[in-house]
Structure 1
Amino acid sequence: MSVLLRVRDLAVAYGHIEAVKGLTFHLNTGEITALVGANGAGKSTTLLALSGLLKPARGKIEFDGEDITALPAHQIVKRGVVQVAEGRAILTTLTVAENLVLGAYTRTDKAEIAASLDEVYALFPRLKDRADQFAGNLSGGEQQMLAIGRALMAKPKLLLLDEPSMGLAPIMVQEIFRTLVEINRRGLTILLVEQNVRQALKIARHGYVIETGEIVLADSGENLLANPKVEEAYLGG
């Protein structure tokens, strides 16, 4: 299995406070990897650093064999790393279709963009039904589908997802996670950041548990689910 993303000794600070303290981990091509932990553990900060939206205090980020540590965010997107931000960040005064097309802003082939749009509508039929509606009129779950769909329009090699289940009804959470499995089955590598530890580890091949900016456990998703420490700390055991 080839390594798509390799992170070495990644540290990120806000002023004098080190939020991420020397993380070392990797993602295998074509797998779902979960980064789980409590609120404030440093999960979102890690994703922002991988996206180029926060500059690391130290460490190295390699993507597809290239050092991307110092690259600006738009260059990282062009290389195929696309993030779905916590809180979705859709443009509520644009239609669903307009939001999706915006996701393809780094691409120029109109026929391929149209094909990607068809793929997103096949994955999320609700979005097709609401294509001409303003995105602000969608439910929370539909907005999350739109945010994921917009990210897919960029044709990513790696999808970074920050808390996709946050604030959603349980039935919608199940639907979102089923779709993530389907997207991964089609070959997309996913890094999933989640407070919903059970759901994340159920679909992840590998998982890392982060506490106060440090990785404290690393194993297969299955083994972490069965780990008494994880059960006690995160699964209500």
Structure 2
Amino acid sequence: MSPTQTAPNVILQVQDLAVSYGHIEAVKGISLTLNEGEITALVGANGAGKSTSLLAISGLVKATRGKVIFNGEDLTQQSPHRIVGSGVVQVAEGRATLTTLTIEENLSLGAYTRKDKAAVAGDLEWVYSLFPVLKQRAKGLAGNLSGGEQQMLAIGRALMARPKVLLLDEPSMGLAPLIIQEIFRIVKEINKTGMTVLLVEQNVRQALRIAQRGYVLETGKIVLEDTGANLLHNPKVVEAYLGG
């Protein structure tokens, strides 16, 4: 680090986190660090434990050991709604939009923990600026959206909670290549506002292209950690995930 550089501010730490489903240990004591204002990628093959790791950070599954520390506060035993209220918000794998509600109603539900109505209205306009198609169809049912539009809605709904850390679980899953490019472009735009992002992805190349830092997860263990750029050119990553 040069004399003019300052150490990054750590906003969230995962310490020796383990999760079991019955007798099967899906996550085997992982540790990772999120620096404030950065995109950090957690990549690996299907079944590596990526989504389970996010669910444990969000409190949606209970860790068998380890801690999640957010801004110095231990979140490990807190309820999911308290974790959201503290500023850690997850976009679930599979989008989980409420298809019988309108787009506007879905977005409003994202702000259910907030009382600042004027700020909520401002954030709604910000979300519509990121996703113009949602504004055009605001009064329509979410169930009538395409897969890519539902992913945009899921991200927009999470943003309405005004997160400090945004957890994205497989945002590219099942989407056409052009839509994937658009989703990743928007993730970069969100990050430019200063929001910290933890991006879980099977699309290793795309994730590492936009991440400042990354971790590679294999069978519940972190096997590599480096900058996104270095991981993108790491021979082990190239061979295992990038068709090298």
What TM-score results when the alignment is normalised by the length of structure 1? 0.99
1:191-228 deviation per Cα after TM superposition (whole angstroms, max 9, x unaligned)? 00000000000000000000000000000000000001
- 2:18 is aligned with 1:16: no
1:72 alignment partner in structure 2 = 79
Q: Alignment partner for residue 40 of structure 1, among 36, 39, 47? A: 47
1:93-121 deviation per Cα after TM superposition (whole angstroms, max 9, x unaligned)? 00100000000000012111111100000
2:5 alignment partner in structure 1 = none
What TM-score results when the alignment is normalised by the length of structure 2? 0.97
Moved over 2 A (4+): none
Counterpart of 2:177, as a letter, is: P
Counterpart of 1:75, as a letter, is: R
5+ unaligned residues in a row in structure 1: which ranges? none
1:140 alignment partner in structure 2 = 147
Question: What secondary structure, in the 3-state scheme, does the structure 2 residue paired with 1:166 have?
Answer: coil
Q: Alignment partner for residue 228 of structure 1, among 218, 227, 235? A: 235
Question: How much is the aligned-residue C-alpha RMSD, in angstroms?
Answer: 0.5
1:4-33 deviation per Cα after TM superposition (whole angstroms, max 9, x unaligned)? 111111000001110000101100000000
1:69 to partner: Cα distance: 0.8
- 2:156 is aligned with 1:149: yes
- 2:68 is aligned with 1:61: yes
Counterpart of 2:15, as a letter, is: R
Aligned length: 237
1:71 to partner: Cα distance: 0.6
1:84-95 equivalent positions in 2, closer than 5 A = 84-95=91-102
Question: What secondary structure, in the 3-state scheme, does the structure 1 residue paired with 2:94 have?
Answer: coil
1: CA distance, partners of 2:99 / 2:67: 36
2: CA distance, partners of 1:165 / 1:181: 14
Q: Alignment partner for residue 96 of structure 1, among 103, 115, 133? A: 103
Question: What secondary structure, in the 3-state scheme, does the structure 1 residue paired with 2:152 have?
Answer: helix
2:194 alignment partner in structure 1 = 187
2:37 alignment partner in structure 1 = 30
- 2:133 is aligned with 1:126: yes
1:206 alignment partner in structure 2 = 213
2: CA distance, partners of 1:61 / 1:133: 38
2: CA distance, partners of 1:24 / 1:134: 40
1: CA distance, partners of 2:73 / 2:95: 28
5+ unaligned residues in a row in structure 2: which ranges? 1-7
1:111 alignment partner in structure 2 = 118
Percent sequence identity is 72
Counterpart of 1:29, as a letter, is: E
1:218 alignment partner in structure 2 = 225
